[in-house]
Every structure is written in structure tokens, then in C-alpha cells.
Amino acid sequence: MTETHYYQKGFGLKPEIEADLVRDYHSGLVQRLRDGGYRLAAGGITVLMAREFGFCYGVDRAVEYAYEARRKFPDRRLHITGEIIHNPHVNQRLREMGISFLSTSPADPKDYESVRPEDVVILPAFGVTTEESDLLRERGCILVDTTCGSVLNVWKNVERYAREGFSAVIHGRYDHEETRATASRATRLPGGHYLVVRDMEEAELLARFLEVGGDGTALLARFRRACSPGFDPARHLERIGLANQTTVLSSESLAIGERLRQAVITRWGEAAVAEHYRAFDTICSATQDRQDAVRALLDEPLDLMLVVGGYNSSNTSHLAEMPCEEGVPAYHIDDAACILGPDQIRHKPVGQTGEVIQERWLPPGELIVGLTAGASTPNNKVGEVIEALLRCRGVDPATL
């Protein structure tokens, strides 16, 4: 593929698309909260906004590149391999701009056969697997790569593990686009392997095996869909390197790393740790910043918390977990339409896959409501949630 067929740094068209981005994603009300110290009081409700929320740099960049690509190639067919980020409103806007999606979910096969050499294909912020990348390059199409820099950093570490004979243990969801792309970096090198652990419970199973070794049949059965082809626990867990899906809960990832490290010490001794275990901090800084901002918000006497973002957004789901751990009622909602009124809210409870309707969610009287949004949530959707919240108390947002 020639250099002119691959674009990783945009097209320098941001001044030309700036008005479109403002129209589609800006919120004057959110800006007002920022200017007012991340606090707004009306109708007996005080809204406290997390100081880091919403679009991160990587998401901003991915969305901008998609808009630039549409402007750069107005007469070409534009595709994206899957969701550019995990927000339904942003993805729908791209469809309205004439960008087709080659897949509508990570589990669906991508329709690469329909891609022509003259077409433009956008790679999402999560990245794509090495197999997908190779296939697209073979088709000779124009590639616009929006893969986040934090994800690229994880890939470098995983490839380093493989080169040095360490299997990658990846903390994340094995079926998530980013984790699948990361895992493919381990197997692109001869002898490279990976195993994906979803949470502390699965990490504990792995740690116990590390401590005693032996027959890995039971472990392999548990992780059969979350490990590399030909994975042999007895051989491929002798030397491991920890990596992360960039949007996981940092405290859990640190705990997993420490548990695996202690298991290595139990099995091989403190002096042999470097020979058997490696770890690098690969949590995205924006993910960390948003989690830290929620922790700071939880120091306030909150009555409840709203977390805004796509239900398939990993980083948003983890933000919703944090107040629940502190005993603060939290409602993860997709958008303002989920607020049905002062007596009902439609939300996705932590740990569940579907929505439920909560009755009497908004207590009467003076309330302090915390508010945050995942890194893939645009400001206009956050603003609409604030407006819906205030309407529950009879406040017309236009009068603010």
C-alpha cells in the first residue's frame, strides 16, 4: 500500500469541520456548568458535575477524522469497520453522513468483500485485529486509521512480551473490539500467546493455577474462548506479562496485577519474579482521569448519581460501578429519553445486560445529584440529561 493510501494523522481540515462538530455535539448548558465551577442549582436540585467527563482526546480525534474523511472524499464510498466509539448517537450521526458500517456488532462478520479499491475505510478508535488490517491493505482501499494512541501503547507492550517469550495476560472483555485487536498483536509473532481475564474472580483462578501448576485442562476449559489457539497453560503461563483493555477499572486491574505477582512469588520465589512476570501501566490516562474525578465527587454528600453513556461502553460502565461500591444510588442511562419523569427512570443496573425501570428514583426535597459521562459521550447528550433532570422539578431550562 502506498503512503497516500494510509492516513493516521487526519487531513488538516479541522477548521472546515469545526462548525459541524459544534452543531452536532456542543452544549451551552454544559459549558455553563464548567464556567460555574461544575455546579448548578435550580428547583431544589444541586447538580455537581465531575471535573473530567465526556469526550476524551482519543474520541475527539476519531470523530474529527471521520468528519474530515467525509469532507476530503465527498464523492467516494466511505465505510467504517464497526462502531467508531461506543455511543449510539455519534454512530447514528455518521450513518446520516453517508458512512456505512461493515458490521453492527463485534460478534457479526464484517463485510469486507464489498470493499472496493477506490473506497475509504475508517478504522475505529479501538483499532482492528491484524487479520483485518492485512485484509484491508490487500484490497488496496484508502485507510483512515483513528486508533487511539493509548491503545497503540498497549499493543507495543504486548508485542514486546511476545518477542521476549512472555504470554500476554489481558485484563478486559475477550469479546470487546479493543481486546480482540490487542490479543491479535500477541499472536502475530511466532510463539506469541494470550489469555484474557475479565475480572478478579477469573484472575483468582489463574493465580491458583500459577501457584501450583499441574494439569491445565480445567483452566483451559474455563478460558477456551478467551485464549490464543494452541494455548497450553502448563507451558504458556510459565512467563506472563500483564496488559489491559485501556478502559477497565484501574483499581481492579492493579489488584489483579498484584495477585498474579504474588502467585508468581509463591511458585518461583521473590528472586525469580522478573524472569516470570512483567507488568506495565496501560490504563488510558483519560479513563484514569474520569475515574479519579468520580472518586473526588463521591467525597461530596451525594443523594444519587447519574452516569451518561452507551450501554456497551466499558469505561462508562466502570464509572457506574464506583458510586455503587460506596452505597450511592447510581443510574447508568443512555440519554435523556431514559428519564421518564420524577417517578420513573429507565437505566441499566451494574452487572446486568438489559434495562430496567426504577420507580420513585428521584426523592422529594433538596437533593445533591452527581453527574458524569463516559469518554465516548458527547456534551450535547450530557446537557440534555441535565435539562430532563431539571424538568422533573418543574424548571424550564430556557429560563436558566
Q: Please give the pLDDT value at position 284.
A: 86
Max intra-chain CA distance, the chain: 69
Lookup result for grid cell 468528519? 67
Sign of CA pseudo-dihedral 123, 125, 130, 131: negative
Q: What is the DSSP letter of 311?
A: T
Task: Give which of 256, 191, 193, 259 is closest to 223, Cα–Cα.
Answer: 193
* Phi, psi angles (nearest 5°) of residue 357: -110, 120
Spell out the domain ranges in the chain: 3-12+58-148, 37-56+286-399, 150-283
| CA–CA separation, 309 and 368 (whole Å) | 20
CA dihedral 284, 285, 286, 291 (to 10 degrees): 90
In one-letter notation, the amino acid at residue 391 is: R
Sign of CA pseudo-dihedral 311, 315, 318, 319: negative
Q: Please give the pLDDT value at position 2.
A: 47
pLDDT, averaged per 10 consecutive residues of the chain (400 residues), comes to 75 97 97 95 96 95 97 97 94 96 79 92 96 93 96 96 97 94 95 96 96 91 95 96 92 95 97 95 86 96 97 93 94 98 97 94 96 96 97 92
CATH for 37-56+286-399, options being 3.10.450.50, 3.90.1150.10, 3.40.1010.20, 3.30.420.40: 3.40.1010.20
- CATH code of domain 3-12+58-148: 3.40.50.11270
Q: Please give the pLDDT value at position 3.
A: 46
Q: Is the fold of 3-12+58-148 the same as that of 37-56+286-399?
A: no
CA dihedral 163, 173, 287, 387 (to 10 degrees): 160
Q: Please give the pLDDT value at position 289.
A: 93
- Length of the chain counted residue by residue: 400
Q: Please give the pLDDT value at position 210.
A: 96
Report the phi/psi class of residue 37: left, alpha or beta, with left for phi > 0 and alpha for psi in -120 to 50: left
| CA–CA separation, 242 and 117 (whole Å) | 38
- CATH code of domain 150-283: 3.40.1010.20
Q: Active-site positions? A: 178
**Apex 101 CA angle, 99 and 105, nearest 5:** 150
Segment 35-47, tens digit of pLDDT = 999 999 999 999 9
* Phi, psi angles (nearest 5°) of residue 363: -65, 155
Instruction: Give me 374's grid cell.
Output: 463516559
- pTM attached to this predicted model: 0.92
* Cβ atoms 173, 246 nearer than 8 A: no
Q: What is the DSSP letter of 2?
A: -
Which residues, other chains included, contact 346 with Cβ-Cβ below 8 Å and sequence gap of 6+?
A: 333, 337, 338, 340, 355, 356, 357, 358
Task: Give which of 159, 171, 221, 165 is closest to 196, Cα–Cα.
Answer: 171
Beta strands (DSSP E) in the chain are 6-7, 39-42, 45-49, 78-80, 99-101, 120-123, 142-145, 167-171, 194-197, 240-244, 277-279, 304-308, 330-333, 339-341, 344-347, 356-359, 367-373
Interaxial angle between packed helices 14-25 and 57-72, expressed in degrees from 0 to 180 and rounded to the nearest 10: 120
> How many CB atoms are located within 10 Å of the residue 79 CB?
22
